[in-house]
Every structure is written in C-alpha cells, then in structure tokens.
Amino acid sequence: MLSGMKVKVLCRNPDDYVRETTRDIQRVPRNYDPTIHPFEVSREYTRALNATKLERIFAKPFVASLDGHRDGINCLAKHAKTLSVVLSGACDGEVKIWNLSKRECMRTIQAHEGFVRGICSRFCGSSFFTVGDDKTVKQWNMEPPGRGLQEEPLNTILGKAVYTGIDHHQTEGTFATCGQTVDIWDEQRSSPIRSFSWGVDSFSCVRYNPVETELLASCASDRSIILYDMRESAPLKKIIMQLRSNTLCWNPMEAYNFTCSNEDYNLYTYDMRRLDVPVTVHMDHVSAVLDVDYSPTGKEFVSASFDKTIRIFPKNSGHSREVYHTKRMQHVICVKWSADNKYILSGSDEMNIRLWKANASEKLGLLTPREKAALNYNQKLRDKFQHHPQVRRIARHRHLPRDLFKQKRELREMKEARRRK
Amino acid sequence: MAAPGGEAQTTAHVGKRRKRPRRYWEQTSKKYNSGGKSSDGAKQKAKKRRGDRRKKRKGGLSGEVESEDPKLCEQTQETGKKDNSGEKSSDGPKQKAKRRRVDRRKKRKGNLTVKVVSEDTSKKDNDGEKSVDGTKDTADENATKRSDAKFISGKVDPFPGEAPIPEERLRKFQRGNKFVVPEEIRSKLKDTLAKSQEAADLAQTQAARYDLLLTEDAGFLEGDEGEDTCTISQDDIAEAVDITSGSKYFNLRLTQFGPYRLDYSRTGRHLLLAGRRGHVTCIEWQTKNLMCEMNVMETVKDIKWLHSEAMFAVAQKKWLYIYDSNGTELHCIKKFNDVLRMQFLPYHFLLATASATGFLQYLDVSVGKEVAAINTKLGRLDVMAQNPYNAVIHLGHPNGTVSLWSPNQKEPLVKMLCHRGGVRSLTVDRTGTYMVTSGLDRKLKVYDIRAFKPLNSYFLPAGASCLSLSQRGLLSASTGDIVQVYRDVWGSGPMTKPYMAHRVRGTVWGVGYCPFEDVLGVGHAEGFTSMIVPGAGEPNFDALDMNPYRSTKQRQEWEVKALLEKVQPELISLDPGLLGKVDKATFEQKHKERVETLGYDPLAVEKFKPRMRKRGRSAAGAVEKRKKKVAHEDQRDVIRKSVKERMEKEKEKKRKDSAKEQLGEKTALDRFKK
C-alpha cells in the first residue's frame, strides 16, 4: 500500500532561515503575495499619519543666532562665490562679515556714519559695495587688510543725496543704486553713467534681473514699481499699486516673474510681460512685509515682516507653507535664502542675525543610506495621503504667538465682512 | 538543467552586445596559435604590441596572468578551463536556446552570480565532452574565433527583451484596475497620472518576477492509482516522510481535564491548549518544550494568543484573564464576563469576545481599553469567526443566521440566513472571499461573502461540528471523533470524498491549522492530536510580516513596528481598501453644500400657489382641482420634449431611407453625377 503513495510535507531547514553567526545580518525572506499582507491601504495610511506627526515633531528650524552687531540689522548680502560667507550692515554704520560654518564674525568694518542702507557683493566675490546715510557709495575688499593696517575702502564715491539701495550687475563692472533717482554706475567712474527718474521723489529698492542682465526693477515711494532697461535712457514700464512696496526680488529660474513685498501685508507676484494683474497674491502676514528673497530653485520664496515672523511661500500659492518666529525676534528687516537652498538668514531689529533651516524638519549632517531611504519613503507617504483630512490637519498645524493669532483672526473677520458687503 | 551534449560554454556573445574588452588569453592564443590567420585588423595588432610593451616594462613574462584583480584572475582561469573543454558540436536549437537563456540570466544578475553560473556551465560542458568527440587541440582558437564570429554575424536574439511573465502571475499582484487617463485632462495632471501608473506597473512586474525566487514548494499527497488519499493513515504518512516531518504527528493523552481547545500562535511555533476543566498549557510544539502549565481551577471556555507569543487570553468561567507565557496572571478583566469565544485581530490589536449574554466586545490590547461593546440581542454567542481580509467578525446564531459585525456599528453590517437549523460552526478563508458554515441541518455550505451568495452546499450524514480553513484553503471538518479534510471546497466540481480523514480518541472540541506548517491540531476529549495534512500551510512566509524563525531581537523589533502601524478600529469595514478610493461626493452632497454657501436653493422650483378667487371658487375642493391641473407640469414638459425629439428623429430616418431607395444601388459612376 505504501508503494504508490507520493507525499511531500513542508519541512524547512532552519539553516536556510537563521543566520549562521551573530556577526551576520538576519535573514529576511520575503513573499510579496498580497494575501499575506492584508490591510495594506489602512496600514499605509497609519504609516503616513505617523510620518506626518514625526515631521511636525522634528520641525526645529532654528539653527543658530549670530550676535555681535550693536544696532538693528538693516541689510544682508550673500557672498557671490562662497556659501559660508554672509555680509550684514547695521543701523549704526557697521558692516560685519560672518562665517556661517563657524558661526562667528570674521571682520568688522565701521563703513558709514548713520545707517548702512544697502550692501551687495561683486559678482566675482572679490569685493563688495555698501551705501549709507552719509551719501557715499564705498567699495571694500573682501580680503581683510594686513596685520596692523587700517580698514580702508577701495573706492569711495560721494553722492548728492542719500542712497537707499544698491545692486550689482551679474557679469559686468556696473552697479545700480537708488535714492532720489535710480543711477547706473561704472565701477571705474565717480559719476553715474545713467540716471533714471519718473517723477518720483525716492526709491527704496533696486534689483537686477538675473537672466536678462540689463533689466532692472525698482520700488518707488509713490506706490509704484518701475522697470528699466540699462541700455536705454528712459524707464520701460510702471505699475502703481494701492500701497507702497518695500522690496522686490526676481525669480532666479523664471526671471520674467518677480515678487514684491507690500505695505498692505501681502506679497504680489507679477509677470513682467503682463503687469496689469498680479499672477498671485500671497497673503498671511499680519503686518507690513519688509523683505523678500527667492530660493535658488525658484520654487519658493521667503518673506520678512514687521509682524516679527518669517514666512515661506511656494511661488504659486496664495498662502504660506511655513512660519518661523521666536520669542526674542523683533521686527524682521531683511531676509536671505542661502545659495545651497538649505538655510534662511534673517536680520532683525534686536541686533541678531538668525540662521534657519529652509525645510524645518530636515535632519542636518550626514545620513546613512537607511535613514535616507526611510526619509524618502516617509516623504512619499505624506505626498500620497496629503489630502486625507487628518493628515492635512496635522501637516498644516502651526503654533503662533497669541497676538499674531488674534490679529490673524481679526483680519479674516474684516475680510469676510468686506466680502459680505 | 544540465544539457547532455551541450556545446562548450564559452563567453561567446549571442546577439547584439557591447564589445567586450580583450582578455590576455585571447591575445596569447592568437600569438601562439593563429599567427597571421586572425581576422583582426592592424588596430588590434597595434594594441597587442602596446600590451606586450607594457608587459615588458612591468617585467612579467608575456604568457603570464597579469591581472592584479584577484576576482578577475579567478574568472579568467575558469573561462580558460571552459575554453579547454570547449569544442564544436552540432547541438539542437533547443539547447542553444537554453544556453542563451543562461547567458541572458547572467547578464541580468550581478558579478557574483555570473561566477556561479559559469561554474555550473563548465561542469555541464565536461558532461558534454564525454558524449561528443571533438578536436581538443584547436579548442582555444575555436573559442576565440567563434566568439568573434558570433559577435560579427548578424544573428538576432530569438528571445529579445525581458523574459515574459505569465498573465496569471501578474494578475495575482494587480491592485485595482488600470486607470485610463481621460483625454480632456490637463497636461501636468496627465504626467502625474502616467508616472504613478508606470510606478504601479513596475511594482507589479517586480513582485511577479520575485515569485521565481521563492524557495519552498507546497506539500502534497497523492495515492496509488485507484487509491483514495483519505484511506492513507497518519502512521503511513509519518513513516513515509522524513523524521522531522514525521515527528509532527503525535498524540498527547490528557484524559483528566478535557475536552481541549487550542490555538496556534501566528508564527506557528507555539501552541496553547486549554482543557475545559481548567488545564492550560503553552507548548513550543516542534521542540516539545513546555513553556508553562497550570490549572486555573475554573471552567475554561476558550483560549487565544495575543499579538505575540508572550501573552495569551483565557476566557474562564466568569471573567477574561490575560497571562504571560510563564503562566503569570497579568490582568483579570471584569468588564468582559461570561466569554464563550474569542478572536484576535492582529493588525488592529483587538481582542473580540462573544459572550453568553449576547454581548460582542472589543478590547484594545495595546492600551487595555474597551473599544466597543455591542449588545447583539441574538442570544448566546458560541459560534464566532473572523474574516482575516477585513477584520469583520462573523457570528453564528441558533436561528440559522450569520451576522457580520464591526466595532463601529451597533447593528450588524450584514445578516444572512444560512441554515435551517442553528449554525454550529463557521470559518472564513484568508482572502476574505469564501465563508464555510455548518449547521444543525447537517449541511456544509460555502458562501461567496463579497457577493453574499451561496456557492456550494454539501450534505454530511452526521453534520460538522468544528470547521477550520488552512492558509492554502484546505477545509477540516469534524464529526464526532473523526476529522475530515476537504480540498477544493469552492471548486466548480462537486466534492465527493475527503482529502484526508483521521479518527481521534475522543469527541473533537477544537481544530486549528498551524500557520506555515502542514499540520492540523485537533483538541478532543482525550487530549490533543497533531496530524500531518500535506499541502495545508503556506510554504513561503514573509519575514517582515511573520517569521517563524525570528530571534528575540527580531520579535521585539517587529512588535514595535507592528504597534506603530496599528490600524485604528474606526477603519474596520467590509471593504478594507476604502481609504484608498476617491470619495466622490454625491449629487445630493454637492447640492447641499451649494445651498449652504449660496444661502438659497438655486434649483428649487417655485411652488404653485392658487390665486384667491371669490364666489366659492376658492373652496378647498376647487383649489385642489386647480392644483391638479398644473401638477407635474414640469414632468409633462420633459415628456413632451422627448416625444417631439423622437418623432423628429424618426422622420429624419424615414427621409433618409426614402432618399436611398430613390437612388437605388450605388455605382462607381455615381461620383460623376451632379
């Protein structure tokens, strides 16, 4: 009877499933059959929920504070070539050069009497320019002077009126200042090669277009934004807004777009080719917006406001994705997005420059491959389930100081009321 | 795999492929054997010369192995061996194809595997050498020449592209239907959709390909010709299989405290036995290692492992108790009284209990809270099963109905009448497709619980008391002291004979299959029997889900991961994939929202208000009459309109037909008519 019977019974050799020595890694045989992995959607959802919560837990954006200035910081500039170098100008005419990786001040220059109004680095990174309340434009060497020598500017240009802003050309030795007029200067000359004005008494900001390098935009005190071509003698275009714009910034990737920070608590993104209507209005601040800077990818920008917060906006979204604030940070005057797209710098009234992460929950430093894989997986999960109400609620939640929260509610009520009428 | 008479396995490249870097042995062979015959041009000669010069500079002999990379050395030596054994033979196309397949597989796998395969093939070649005589002396030359010739010749790969995957296997890993992107969708969304579809396809094919790498095959039992498998006794099977498997058939004589109920842990390593008269044991059944044994000095109704083998729940006379694997009492849960049956939902960490008072209760064992207590109002609940696919609890009732429950609803999700008498036992398969029930009407019925339709109904002379389904769909049913195992219960053909049968010493009280093993545990009045059922268990486990061979560390890690992705009880519903589907708002929902935002109903039709008339024409009856005149006016309009349209269409059709008739047959000359 036994002869014809065929039988096979499951019998596993434990050697195939257990590691040989404790120095080995564990053996993990897989079987992707869906029937032995039930509830895959709900488990994935749970994972996504956990990932979102973890992201909020790890959201600690504040990295460091650079202190040393003896007055409020009025302007910031990035070094054109080096990631770790940042220049700052204060209200007492002092300019400091910072090393971000060491988080220390490398050099201090008493550059002006009164405010340092504007600061910018030359495209080659060898020198930088400052303008101040003392009606001068000064060019400084990026290298410190030799031991025992005094800090002396390379050049000093004495102007007729106060300058309020400066920006350097991307590739050539020309720069633009603004004050009573927008002036274009040659580095070699002591008088402007061109002066633009369009019936305005003063300008607050001038910026070169990063792609069409001969193009300029400026914010004027008569609530207008004016575009210029450096090669022509007259300005190009003008828009007049409801309230004054403080600064503007060109999108470095889509250089026909620029965003301006306005006194009416909003930021406006305009398409240079169609100035009659803004592309997007970015709302969320509860006080005047003082400065704006784009990320080098052109996907997001950061704005600094009088309401003591910094907000990060996606370039085409009407509301911010992130808000940074601390108890000690006062009105934020200037803000910059670092060239490696990882950090944000903010200079504020209470004499501190703060370094923030651009992505609040990012882990700094070297990641192991497993860590990296886990982060990527979590990111994908968050993307996949982002529209589920629970996930969205957690991802969007931000703690705000009570004043800010109340102001925000008040503003919303006002807006509602206006709409109802 | 070895093909007798196969051709020498050289590293010859079949089909189009990037040119391989020249190896030292080719050069040397040319140098020594071929002389001026070689077909390579001046360029290669120059290269050779350069190589020679380099060798000289290094001070090595020109014929020696120069490679510094030890791995390369190994490989080259092997190939050399192969070349020696190689010869030309007239092998059939079949073998050639096989060789090519091996080649291609080599290409796909990494370096390491290449080595292994080439060793294999070299062995194979040696076999081939015996059968076919060849000219050994020119083997080297031949090999190099052939490789070049094949490379140059325009032969094409007969199996281009990737190896095909059987449709059936692909379907196994299909999730949902393929999404067809509508034409009118914007370009950016279209891209996103296309990308996600691509990713899904890739995941599917990769998973399907991985099936090849599964190591174990399922068990089976086949009788002699004309012999029924059900007549084969357990002793015979135990004798026929290897010792380890044979030892899985054993009896435990426990006559004092029976009858016994049992539960295997989810890894299949541990077994719980509970005698009705209070005997509780916990065994590592394969090593026969006793973890704990005690008598709780109370009636024990049911016993269940919790998420791991560290804890188990015992339903005792009055209350529910939780013990750890050493037998220490951890909790006595007085909220859960008179429990008769229990089920543990492993992904939700829920212990569902059914009580004699008609209550179905859920205990979250991760936080120790009662999640839901449902009064079923259906009397004593002593028949219970869980659907492993969607975590819905099935209860069988004395009136022949089966009700389906989730913790989120006080009413049953579904109530179905299954039997004419009371339901004695029920079980659900792991894909959540089939439910098998047995009742006092001595019938065994199979239901499709996605469609809630009966599939098969069998009449068992004595009826079945305990049912259990294995991972691979074998059904065990016990009648009195006989346990029968059936195969293909939901197959199309009628099931006539059991696959296996076994008589135990006492009346069967509980049966359960051991996960990942071909073992069925039977608890009965006289103890416990573990019987071998070939083909019951899933052969390939997924170690990230459940690993029978896990270490303590792995278990701890798994426990943390499992707790982190504990599914909330709110997500239990009939369709577990509901969360991944688009929640399309119904028209009513949309309309309601619109009304809320607008403040009025834009679609509302003004109600007809009859005008006030004098002289008795506004009496109640007259008003009603007037109302009736305009009632359903809008509907009438729609009907009128559609009728009109239809008439016009018919007219048009008639006109066309008549025109055709007038024209008569079409000819080629019609085109010249005006």
pLDDT value at residue B151: 58
Strand partners, B197: none
For B237, phi then psi, to 5°, come to -65, -45
Q: Is the pLDDT of residue B597 over 90?
A: no
Read off the pLDDT of each residue in B652-656 and give the average, rounded to a whole number: 93
Residue from A1, A39, A49 whose CB has the most chain B CBs within 10 Å, to mutate: A39
Q: What percent of chain A has pLDDT over 70?
A: 99
pLDDT value at residue B397: 95
pLDDT value at residue B635: 85
The pLDDT tens digits for B286-297 are: 999 999 999 999
Does A101 contact B at CB distance below 8 Å? Answer: no
How many residues are given for chain B? 674
Does B236 contact A at CB distance below 8 Å? Answer: yes
| B-chain residues near A50 (CB < 8 A) | 564-565
pLDDT value at residue B136: 42
Lowest mean pLDDT across B281-295, B424-438, B606-620: B606-620
Select the residue of A6, A10, A47 nearest B216 (Cβ to Cβ).
Answer: A10
Task: Say how far apart CA B393 and CA B569 lie, in whole Å.
Answer: 12
Q: Is the pLDDT of residue B68 over 50?
A: no
Read off the pLDDT of each residue in B502-527 and give the average, rounded to a whole number: 95
Computed from CA positions of residues B243, B248, B249, B251, in that sequence, does the dihedral angle turn out positive or negative? positive
Measured CA to CA in angstroms, residue B578 lies from A51, B329, B386, B582, B630 at distances of 21, 39, 19, 8, 46
pLDDT value at residue A340: 93
pLDDT value at residue A394: 96
Classified as helix, coil or strand, B564 is helix
Residue of A nearest to B225 (CA): A4
Q: Is the pLDDT of residue B163 over 80?
A: yes
DSSP label at B318? S
HEC readout, B589-645: HHHHHHHHHHCCCCCCCCCCCCCCCCCCCCCHHHHHHHHHHHCCHHHHHHHHHHHHH
The pLDDT tens digits for A280-310 are: 999 999 999 999 999 999 999 999 999 999 9
B476 within 8 A of B262, measured Cβ to Cβ: no
Q: Is the pLDDT of residue B108 over 70?
A: no
CB pairs under 8 A between A and B: 153
Tokens of A258: 């620029």
Residue of A nearest to B170 (CA): A33
For B342, phi then psi, to 5°, come to -135, 150
Read off the pLDDT of each residue in A65-86 and give the average, rounded to a whole number: 95
| B-chain residues near A32 (CB < 8 A) | 173, 207, 210-211, 542
Residue of B nearest to A7 (CA): B221
Task: Say how far apart CA B464 and CA A410 lie, in whole Å.
Answer: 72
pLDDT value at residue B98: 53
Lowest mean pLDDT across A235-239, A282-286, B342-346, B488-492: B488-492
Measured CA to CA in angstroms, residue A177 lies from A116, A123, A169, B164 at distances of 13, 16, 11, 68
Residue from B540, B581, B584 whose CB has the most chain A CBs within 10 Å, to mutate: B540
Cβ neighbours of residue A402 closer than 8 Å, sequence gap 6 or more: none
The verdict on a CB contact (< 8 Å) between A16 and B215 is yes
Does B221 contact A at CB distance below 8 Å? Answer: yes
Q: Is the pLDDT of residue B145 over 60?
A: no
The pLDDT tens digits for B467-481 are: 999 999 999 999 999
Read off the pLDDT of each residue in A56-65 and give the average, rounded to a whole number: 96
Does B214 contact A at CB distance below 8 Å? Answer: yes
Measured CA to CA in angstroms, residue B612 lies from A357, B616, B619 at distances of 76, 10, 10
Lowest mean pLDDT across A411-415, B13-17, B235-239, B372-376: B13-17
Task: Say how far apart CA B218 and CA A130 lie, in whole Å.
Answer: 80
The verdict on a CB contact (< 8 Å) between B215 and A41 is no
Task: Say how far apart CA B246 and CA B249 lie, in whole Å.
Answer: 6
pLDDT value at residue A268: 97
Does B575 contact A at CB distance below 8 Å? Answer: no
Closest C-alpha among A197, A179, A177 to residue A187: A177
Q: Is the pLDDT of residue A263 over 60?
A: yes
Does ipTM surpass 0.90 in this model?
Answer: no
Q: Is the pLDDT of residue B6 over 50?
A: no
Read off the pLDDT of each residue in B3-14 and give the average, rounded to a whole number: 41
Task: Say how far apart CA B532 and CA B500 lie, in whole Å.
Answer: 10
Chain A neighbours among B 399-458 (CB < 8 Å)? 430-432
Q: Is the pLDDT of residue B451 over 80?
A: yes
A344 within 8 A of A356, measured Cβ to Cβ: yes
The verdict on a CB contact (< 8 Å) between B538 and A36 is yes
Closest C-alpha among B132, B25, B35, B130 to residue B81: B25
Residue from B542, B557, B572 whose CB has the most chain A CBs within 10 Å, to mutate: B542
Residue of B nearest to A49 (CA): B565
Higher per-residue confidence, A83 vs B98: A83
Pairing of strands B508-513, B519-524: antiparallel
The verdict on a CB contact (< 8 Å) between B540 and A31 is yes
The verdict on a CB contact (< 8 Å) between A43 and B540 is no
Residue with tokens 């899904």: B200
Residue with tokens 């006062």: A330
| A-chain residues near B232 (CB < 8 A) | 5
Does A32 contact B at CB distance below 8 Å? Answer: yes
Helices (H), A34-97: 40-57
Lowest mean pLDDT across B389-403, B544-558, B595-609: B595-609
Select the residue of B241, B534, B567 nearest A42 (Cβ to Cβ).
Answer: B567
Lowest mean pLDDT across A322-326, B105-109, B257-261, B536-540: B105-109
Strand partners, A147: none
Task: Say how far apart CA A407 and CA A397 lie, in whole Å.
Answer: 17
Select the residue of B244, B347, B549 nearest A18 (Cβ to Cβ).
Answer: B549
The verdict on a CB contact (< 8 Å) between A1 and B236 is yes
Q: Is the pLDDT of residue A215 over 90?
A: yes
pLDDT value at residue B100: 55
Strand partners, A218: A206, A226
Does A14 contact B at CB distance below 8 Å? Answer: yes
The verdict on a CB contact (< 8 Å) between A30 and B551 is no
Q: What is the nearest CA distance from A358 to chain B, expressed in angstroms? A: 26
Residue of B nearest to A14 (CA): B549
Pairing of strands A352-357, A343-348: antiparallel
Q: Is the pLDDT of residue B137 over 60?
A: no
Q: What is the nearest CA distance from B218 to chain A, expressed in angstroms? A: 6
Strand partners, A119: A130
Measured N-to-C along each axis, helices A389-396 and A40-57 cross at an angle, to the nearest 10 degrees, of: 10
How many residues are given for chain A? 421
Classified as helix, coil or strand, A136 is strand
Residue with tokens 């050639």: B96
In degrees, rounded to 5, the angle at the alpha carbon of residue A231 between the alpha carbons of residues A226 and A235 is 20
Select the residue of B222, B518, B566 nearest A9 (Cβ to Cβ).
Answer: B518
Classified as helix, coil or strand, B122 is helix
Measured CA to CA in angstroms, residue B348 lies from A55, A77, B351, B435 at distances of 24, 55, 9, 21
Residue of A nearest to B546 (CA): A36
Q: For residue B184, how many C-alpha atoms fall within 13 Å in the half-sphere facing its CB?
A: 0
Task: Say how far apart CA A169 and CA A415 lie, in whole Å.
Answer: 41
Q: Is the pLDDT of residue B119 over 80?
A: no
Does B183 contact A at CB distance below 8 Å? Answer: no
| B-chain residues near A41 (CB < 8 A) | 576-580
The pLDDT tens digits for B271-287 are: 999 999 999 999 999 99
Most confident of A348-357, B87-96, B101-110: A348-357
A185 within 8 A of A192, measured Cβ to Cβ: yes
HEC readout, B476-488: EEEECCEEEEECC
Task: Say how far apart CA B305 and CA B346 lie, in whole Å.
Answer: 10
pLDDT value at residue B96: 52
Lowest mean pLDDT across A350-364, B92-106, B206-220: B92-106
pLDDT value at residue B117: 36
B664: left (phi over 0), alpha (psi -120 to 50) or beta: left
Q: Is the pLDDT of residue B300 over 60?
A: yes
Q: What is the mean pLDDT of chain A?
A: 93
Higher per-residue confidence, A389 vs B31: A389
Tokens of A319: 């509301």
Q: Is the pLDDT of residue B141 over 60?
A: no
State the pLDDT confidence band at B211, using cuts at 50, 70 and 90.
Answer: confident
Tokens of B450: 């996605």
Q: What percent of chain B has pLDDT over 90?
A: 54
Q: Is the pLDDT of residue B54 over 70?
A: no
| B-chain residues near A11 (CB < 8 A) | 241-242, 244-245
The verdict on a CB contact (< 8 Å) between B579 and A47 is no
Cβ neighbours of residue B400 closer than 8 Å, sequence gap 6 or more: B417, B418, B419, B420, B421, B422, B423, B439, B441
State the pLDDT confidence band at A38, using cuts at 50, 70 and 90.
Answer: very high
Chain A neighbours among B 391-410 (CB < 8 Å)? 391
Beta strands in B201-328 (DSSP E): 220-222, 250-253, 260-264, 270-275, 279-284, 289-295, 300-305, 311-316, 319-324
Amino acid (1-letter code) at residue B261: R
pLDDT value at residue B184: 80
- Helices and strands in chain A, H and E counts: 4, 29
Tokens of A213: 């390098």
Q: What is the nearest CA distance from B505 to chain A, expressed in angstroms? A: 24
Chain A neighbours among B 133-162 (CB < 8 Å)? none
Name the strand (E) or helix (H) holding B191. Answer: helix B187-210
Q: Is the pLDDT of residue A17 over 50?
A: yes
Q: What is the nearest CA distance from B89 to chain A, expressed in angstroms? A: 40
Residue with tokens 């050539």: A172
Cβ neighbours of residue B188 closer than 8 Å, sequence gap 6 or more: none
Tokens of A88: 């700052």
Does B583 contact A at CB distance below 8 Å? Answer: no
The verdict on a CB contact (< 8 Å) between A30 and B576 is no
Classified as helix, coil or strand, B279 is strand
pLDDT value at residue B233: 92
Residue of B nearest to A48 (CA): B565
In degrees, rounded to 5, the angle at the alpha carbon of residue B274 between the alpha carbons of residues B392 and B552 is 75
Does A13 contact B at CB distance below 8 Å? Answer: no
The verdict on a CB contact (< 8 Å) between B222 and A35 is no
C-beta atoms surrounding B153 within 10 Å: 9
| B-chain residues near A34 (CB < 8 A) | 172-173, 175
Chain A neighbours among B 541-570 (CB < 8 Å)? 541-549, 551, 554, 564-568
Does A18 contact B at CB distance below 8 Å? Answer: yes
Q: Is the pLDDT of residue B88 over 50?
A: no
Computed from CA positions of residues B540, B541, B544, B550, in that sequence, does the dihedral angle turn out positive or negative? negative
| A-chain residues near B430 (CB < 8 A) | 35-36, 38
Residue from B579, B581, B584, B597 whose CB has the most chain A CBs within 10 Å, to mutate: B579
